[in-house]
């Protein structure tokens, strides 16, 4: 799987076992549904996510981290912390560094 700089990886948040498409789309603000679908398929092919049909009517699909995906999460979290602290001008519209509190799931601006 190849991603261009600035690509967003739609993965279930830490602590969540699985997420539905709509939940992933909500968290990946600024990514349209077609691109999200492509990214999810790439992550499935890379064995990072598993797709499961939960119900047929109404259609409900869940994406779950595989063991490989769970092993990747600390690496992604470290890259996220680094980019938020050191590359804020590329990550945030206001260009201000932030810290991420994993326990609350909140970003906090650093002065």
Q: Which residues of 1-32 are buried (b: 16+ CB within 10 A; e: fewer)?
A: eeeeeeeebbbbeeeeebbebebbbebbeebe
Whether residue 101 is predicted with pLDDT greater than 60 in this model: the reply is yes
Q: Residue 5's pLDDT is what?
A: 45
Write down the pTM of the prediction: 0.64
Give me the residues paired with residue 62 across strands: 20, 52
Q: What are the structural domains of the chain?
A: 12-65 (1.10.10.10), 66-111 (no CATH)
Does the pLDDT value for residue 3 go beyond 70? no
Region 49-65: mean pLDDT is 88
| Alpha-carbon distances, residue 35 vs 32, 69, 75, 85, 86 (angstroms) | 6, 20, 23, 27, 27
């Amino acid at each position: 799987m190849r991603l261009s700089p600035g690509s967003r990886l739609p993965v279930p948040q830490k602590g969540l076992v699985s997420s539905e498409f709509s939940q992933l789309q909500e968290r990946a603000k600024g990514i349209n549904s077609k691109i999200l679908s492509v990214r999810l398929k790439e992550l499935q092919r890379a064995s990072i996510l598993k797709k499961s049909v939960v119900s047929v009517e109404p259609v409900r699909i869940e994406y779950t981290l595989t063991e490989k995906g769970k092993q990747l999460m600390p690496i992604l979290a470290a890259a996220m912390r680094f980019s938020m602290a050191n590359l804020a001008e590329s990550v945030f519209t206001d260009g201000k560094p932030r810290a991420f509190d994993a326990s609350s799931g909140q970003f906090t601006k650093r002065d």
